[in-house]
């Protein structure tokens, strides 16, 4: 079984090349990838972020940025409470050349 690919069409409106979500996670989010970029900020709880096969601890204040080439999964640690985070997703159209160079080198 292949990881699910989340598309721009399913997650962004035609009116804007970005969207903001607040997620409260109590179950694992299986490995997937996106057509879009994702910037996430953890506001409470804890868990594990598995990014391209490598596990990273998530807790209050953690931030991560994903590109359309990244595969990831999220595993909340319910002993620490519900893992809550904000996700800002955006398409490639939102990145100017200067911002792309600043962020990605």
* pLDDT (0 to 100) of residue 88: 96
Instruction: With a cut of 80, say whether residue 1 has pLDDT above it.
Output: no
Instruction: With a cut of 80, say whether residue 96 has pLDDT above it.
Output: no
pLDDT band at 104 (very low <50, low <70, confident <90, very high): confident
* pLDDT (0 to 100) of residue 84: 98
Instruction: With a cut of 80, say whether residue 55 has pLDDT above it.
Output: yes
C-alpha to C-alpha distance for 67 and 50, rounded to whole angstroms: 14
Architecture of domain 4-104: Sandwich (2.60)
Instruction: With a cut of 90, say whether residue 101 has pLDDT above it.
Output: no
**Residue 2 token pair:** 């292949």
DSSP state of 45: -
Please provide the DSSP assignment of 63-77 as one string.
EEEE-TT--EEEEE-
* pLDDT (0 to 100) of residue 99: 77
Task: Parse the chain into domains and list their residue ranges.
Answer: 4-104
């Amino acid at each position: 079984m292949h990881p699910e690919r989340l598309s721009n069409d399913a997650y962004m409106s035609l009116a804007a090349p970005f969207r903001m979500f607040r997620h409260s996670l109590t179950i694992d989010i299986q490995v997937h990838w996106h057509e879009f970029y994702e910037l996430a900020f953890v506001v409470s709880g804890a868990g594990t972020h598995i990014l391209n096969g490598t596990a990273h601890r998530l807790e209050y204040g953690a931030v991560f940025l994903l590109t359309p080439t990244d595969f990831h999964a999220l595993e909340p640690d319910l002993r620490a409470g519900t893992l809550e985070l904000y996700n800002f997703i955006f398409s490639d159209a939102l990145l100017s050349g200067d911002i792309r160079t600043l962020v990605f080198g």
